[in-house]
Amino acid sequence: MPTSIIQSRPGKIHMLMPDDGAVPGTLIAWKDGGPGGATGAADFRKPMPITITGIGFNQAVNIQFMPTLKKLVYVYAFGDKMGLIRLSGLAFDNNCDGGESGWGTRALFDYYQENRAVRDGQVVRISIAGEVITGFLKGMDISLSSVEFKTMGFVMHIATLPRKGRISPSAAASAPAPAPAQATAGWSGI
């Protein structure tokens, strides 16, 4: 999605998009059951007055180490933690045709309100290099990026499921707490 900021008209943007909207790193939010059963998918493939400038991805395991006085280290593995994706970009004030001021920021507010996790356990899927990652939109930061070009910077925070995670968004709130994990290994070390 090549984008050019027109220097003679600060804050104005022109977007060139392919007909299918297919671009690497697509962010899609499905409603009511996901692909195939979706009844109102909202996604970033539709023209929006934003440019995605960065993505950060974090994953980790739930693990505890217990060193002993006898130079042993016990390792307790409890599975994977939820990950975090930080999707950052710029929201433009207006399009090339003029129009109403604040267009990009309002589009971000609307996207967040429609797709945040507390709205019926809304699922967000992100495709990175062909890998689809499922998560929940849990927060968004918006700040002034450039007064001259009338752009706002944003960061969306998406909590992701472990790769093999199979948590149903609608059942997540009512599911019983899992049984405590047991120690899986005791390793000796120096």
pLDDT at res. 145: 85
Average pLDDT over residues 113-137: 80
Whether 155 and 143 have beta carbons less than 8 Å apart is answered as no
CATH code linked to domain 49-164: 2.40.30.200
Average pLDDT over residues 70-99: 84
- 46-50, 82-86, 91-95: which has the minimum mean pLDDT? 46-50
Average pLDDT over residues 29-57: 59
Q: Is the model's pTM score more than 0.75?
A: no
pLDDT at res. 48: 67
Degrees, nearest 5: CA angle 130-54-143: 140
**Average pLDDT, rounded, for the chain:** 69
Average pLDDT over residues 138-152: 86
Whether 141 and 152 have beta carbons less than 8 Å apart is answered as no
pLDDT of 84 over the 90 cut = yes
Cα gap 103→150, rounded to integer Å: 11
Cα gap 46→73, rounded to integer Å: 52
